[in-house]
Amino acid sequence: MNSNNELHVVFGTGAVGMAVMRELLNQGKRVRMVNRSGTASVPEYVEVVKANAADPAHTRDACRGATVVYNCVNAPYTDWAELLPPMHTAIIHGAAVADAKLVVAENLYMYGPVSGSITEERPFQPTTRKGRVRAKLSEDLMAAHRAGIVRATSGRASDFYGPGAGAQGIFGDRIVPSMLAGRGVSVLGKLDMPHSYTYIEDFGKGLVILGAHDEALGQSWHIPNAPTLTTRQMLTLFFEEACLAPKMSSVPDLVVRMLGLFKPVVREVAEMLYEFNEPFVVESSKFVQAFGDIATTHRDAIRQTLEWYRSRAPATTASPMAPSDLSLARPAWRRRVARIGSLFQLGFAALWLGRGTLATGWTERLPLALTLVTGAVALGVWGEAKTRHLAPKPTGLAGRRLEREVTIASVLQLAASFVLPVVVSALGRPDLIVGAVSMTIGILLLWFRVKLRTSGHLVAGILLLAVPVGLGLVLTGNPLAAATGVAMGVILVGSALVGLSSLNTQTLEPGRSVRPRLQWENAQNGQAQPAASGARSTCFPG
């Protein structure tokens, strides 16, 4: 039988599923991709099927005629516990009915915090919500294999990167476009901790290898990675291959956890920080001994990743400083409001946290007040330094029109913040001052949200309006002033952190060139950048 006539069914058209598809096509296999929409950016000779992966009837139909089925489905970080189990169960059913081998793409969350190298024999000790989900899915898969329900195996990879990894990639949409635009990059965890990273093409190739070998069944396998480096070393390779001077920093854990109070997806990220704060080294000798070492060197993988991003960069080199219409001016002003507004919010937060803490007693609360004020000020200094040059002032007709509207709205809010305290004081309710001012800020944030689609302002605006009203209904006097001050300070800190973080995640304005700016002096002088070690790409000015 011609093995190229075998049908390989891939559930999921995200980063991993597409990597599996590319490897199967490289081997001349017949491929059917399955997703919820029934559309995907694939070659015309690849079949794409619309199906609900959580519905056994759908998976049964999608797997019909398959020799190997690959489970590469994923779900939003916040919905893993709800969405992943039924999809995995239904895909097991579909593969079983088709009498196909099942290969499942897994990560490493099920192991939990580790000490020493991570091998397949390490027991599951998850300490996070997502880790417990992954552990249960893996246990259920192997139980189904042992029960004779399905012939199954799984391939596990660490945090991956590479062509097509996009927003799912650890060095993806949050990192590469910003770097290629000449800006610095910020990552999670400690820069100098060793961390194994997986090249997405190696992940796809490894899963296909597992599907081709019956001896892989009934076991889990770690897909080989290039030798482990620290995150700083990985980012340095990225900058070197882009012919740029390295500019990198680490986002403080406290900032991530504070953001998590306001953004559920960030809260899910925060529980995985342990992976990046301690050595995280994956051992894959079991796979290597059985099937060979398929790992691509990090430098070659990074080179291919950068080439992929460059090939998708806008062809125009028009400056983002002069947006010619509203579609260009609005994103530019969104960034500017996110930066400047966040810094102002941190200033108000420092004032209100201090005032609220001291409202019920100076002597015993002074150390706490100083700590909170210092923390808010420190966040402001950090935010100003990290986002400098990320939000240039837009020009052009549409830019100036938006500037006028933003300025008028801000001036009106500022005027109201001066008038309302006078009014409430005249009414004999000085305890309402902070609440009254916070409500003016809340209205301004909601206006920004409607006008510019700013990040985090919808939730913060509603809270700044609702919380003072709620507290005013149950408290009066100094207790009200204290509670309102602290609550408003916390809300503003969260809103400010969301705004500052959005500067590293918002898509570049249309027309912005992401062609690397060769910043090293020798490159600017027409000389190739010398290699410190290994084979480095030659950098030319241009």
Same domain, 288 and 343: no
pLDDT of residue 7: 97
CA–CA dist 69, 11 (Å, integer): 8
Does residue 414 sit in the same domain as residue 378? yes
- Give the sign of the dihedral formed by CA 2, CA 291, CA 162, CA 79: positive
Q: Is residue 426 part of a domain?
A: yes
Judgement on whether residues 269 and 342 belong to the same structural domain of the protein: no
278, part of any domain: yes
Ordered alpha helix ranges (H), 283-395 = 285-291, 298-311, 326-358, 366-386
Kindly state whether residue 522 falls inside one of the protein's structural domains. no
**279 lies in the same domain as 415:** no
* Rounded CA separation 31/48 (Å): 9
Please check whether residues 19 and 55 belong to one and the same domain.
yes
CA 445/CA 305 separation, integer angstroms: 38
From CA 28, how far away is CA 337, in angstroms rounded?
51
How far is it, in rounded angstroms, from Cα 59 to Cα 51? 7
Is the same domain home to 303 and 330?
no
Per-residue pLDDT of the chain (542 residues; tens, 9 = 90+): 456 689 999 999 999 999 999 999 999 999 999 999 999 999 999 999 999 999 999 999 999 999 999 999 999 999 999 999 999 999 999 999 999 999 999 999 999 999 999 999 999 999 999 999 999 999 999 999 999 999 999 999 999 999 999 888 999 988 999 899 888 898 999 999 999 999 999 999 999 999 999 999 999 999 999 999 999 999 999 999 999 999 999 988 988 888 887 788 889 999 999 999 999 999 999 999 999 999 999 999 999 999 999 988 654 333 333 333 556 678 888 888 999 999 989 998 998 888 888 886 766 788 888 898 999 999 989 888 888 878 887 767 777 778 888 988 888 998 898 899 999 899 999 889 989 999 999 999 999 988 888 888 999 999 999 999 999 999 999 899 899 999 999 999 999 999 888 876 544 333 333 333 333 333 333 333 333 334 555 554 33
Question: Residues 227, 233, 239, 245: is their CA dihedral positive or negative?
Answer: negative
Please state the pTM of the whole predicted model.
0.67
Rounded to whole angstroms, how far apart are CA atoms 106 and 92? 15
- At which of 311, 334, 360 does a domain end? 311
Please, which residues have CB within 8 angstroms of residue 21's CB and are 6 or more apart in sequence? 10, 13, 31, 33, 42, 46, 204
Is 274 inside any structural domain? yes
What burial letters (b/e) apply to 55-81, b meaning 16+ CB within 10 Å? bbebbbebbeebbbbbbbbbbebeebe
Cα distance between residue 276 and residue 268, in whole Å: 14
Amino acid at the residue 137: L
| pLDDT at res. 314 | 56
- Of 159, 381, 410, 162, nearest to 282 by C-alpha is 159
- Per the domain annotation, does 321 fall within a domain? no
Is the distance from CB of 94 to CB of 144 less than 8 angstroms?
no
Largest CA distance in the chain: 91
Tell whether 330 and 298 lie within a shared domain: no
Does residue 449 belong to any structural domain of this protein? yes
Does 127 share its domain with 268? yes
Residues 74 and 184 in one domain: yes
Residue 139, pLDDT score:
97
Q: Are residues 287 and 375 both part of a single domain? A: no
Q: CA 357 from chain center: how many Å? A: 35
Domain boundary residue among 259, 286, 311? Answer: 311
What pLDDT digit, counting tens, does each position of 96-105 carry?
999 999 999 9
Q: How far apart are CA 107 and CA 16, in angstroms?
A: 11
What is the chain's alpha carbon radius of gyration, rounded to the nearest angstrom? 27
Q: What is the dihedral of CA 311, 317, 321, 327, to 10 degrees?
A: -60
Is 532 among the domain residues?
A: no
How far CA 238 is from CA of 158, 170, 300, 430, in Å, comes to: 18, 13, 10, 56
> Does 81 reside within a domain?
yes
* Phi, psi at 230, each rounded to 5°: -80, 165
In contact, 142 and 220? CB cutoff 8 Å: yes
Q: What is the CATH number of the domain that holds 63?
A: 3.40.50.720
Based on the fold, state whether residues 301 and 358 are members of the same structural domain: no
> According to the model, what pLDDT value does residue 534 have?
46
Number of other residues whose CB lies within 10 A of the CB of residue 297 = 14
Give the C-alpha separation, 424 to 439, whole Å: 13
Question: Which residue range is the domain that position 127 belongs to?
Answer: 3-311
Overall domain count for the chain: 2
* CB-side neighbour CA atoms (13 Å) of 159: 22
| DSSP-assigned letter for residue 530 | P
Predicted pLDDT of residue 298 = 97
* Nearest by Cα to 124 from 402, 116, 133: 133
For 114-147, letters b (16+ CB in 10 Å) and e give: beeebebeeeeebebbbbbbbbbbbeebbebbee
Q: With b meaning 16 or more CB within 10 Å and e meaning fewer, what string describes 39-52?
A: ebebeeeeebbebb
CB 204 within 8 A of CB 23: yes
Q: Which tens digit of pLDDT belongs to each residue from 115-173?
A: 999 999 999 999 999 999 999 999 999 999 999 999 999 999 999 999 999 888 999 98
pLDDT reported for residue 403: 85
Cα(444)–Cα(421) distance, integer angstroms: 17
Q: Are residues 298 and 345 in the same domain?
A: no
